[in-house]
Each structure stands twice: as C-alpha cells, then as structure tokens.
Amino acid sequence: MRAHDVFKAELTRAITRIRAFVETLADCAHVDQTETSDYWRLALRPKSLLACPVELILYRQQLWDAQIGNEEYVDRRIERIDLFPALVEAIVAGRVVTRTWRTPGTGLLHSVETIVTLPDRTFTDERRIAAVADVVPRAACVATDRHWLPYRR
C-alpha cells in the first residue's frame, strides 16, 4: 500500500481528471457524483441503450468497486490510480466487451469477463460461477461477445 498522503494526492488528481471529462457528457449521459470522507462515486447512465453504463467507487482506503455493464467488481485493491481516468474514458468511447462463457452441451454459465481496451493496456476482470468453473475448463466452453457502443455516435 502507498503512504496515505501520497495516495490521497494521486486520488485527488485522478478524480479531478475524471470530473473534467464527465462534464463534457451532458448531451449523451446522465452523470451522478457523490463524495464523502470515505469515498468518491461516479455513475454514468448513457442515453443510448447500447452503450455501457458504469458506476465507479474509489475508496480512500485504497480499494475500489465498479459496475461495468451488468457485471460488478467489489473490494478490488487500487494498484494503479491512473487506471480510473483511462477506464472511464475507454468505456465512454465504447471500447468495452462483455464476454460470456457457457458450456456447449447444456449452456450453463461458466464465467463472464469484462474487457476494456485502454490506450496502453487492456483491463480485464472476471466473474466465475464456481459450481461450473471448478468442473468444466474454460477451454471447453463457448464464448459470446457483447460489444458496447460509444456514448456518442
């Protein structure tokens, strides 16, 4: 973990950058921000039904939560604070894929990946269904991709 003062300064810079960016989205998204002494929360609800909604919560305890599309990621450690402005900008630009893995015979849900293409790397996270994923290897499953559209077209 980073020293609290260093982290606080980095977090403030990241939030300032994200706030400046989302101020430009009034024509294409509903923007909701909340700040307390413990966290900062951003919710973007695009006006286009085919664009990816996102909710991001950055905690001062160096943790984060997000909902990207329909997938939730909770209690993740903040490793790189520069991830978050890039993540929000990429989601708004439509560089998001939700990949669903299912077993071929029964169609049981194996796992769901969220893939966001950032300028310098790819962010991925996954939700596994343990009852299936512990028995069936992902390589034996079939993937279906949902590509999200940009907020503006």
Q: How many domains is the chain partitioned into structurally?
A: 1
Q: Are 44 and 30 in contact (CB under 8 A)?
A: yes
- Give domain status of residue 153, yes or no: no
Instruction: Write out the residue range of the structural domain in which residue 135 sits.
Output: 4-147
- Give domain status of residue 152, yes or no: no
Given a cut of 80, is residue 4 above it in pLDDT?
no
Q: What is the pLDDT of residues 38-79, one digit of tens each?
A: 999 999 999 999 999 999 999 999 999 999 999 999 999 999
By the 10 Å C-beta count (0-12 exposed, 13-18 middle, 19+ buried), 95 is classed as buried
Residue 108: closest CA among 125, 87, 133: 133
- Give domain status of residue 47, yes or no: yes
Given a cut of 80, is residue 141 above it in pLDDT?
yes
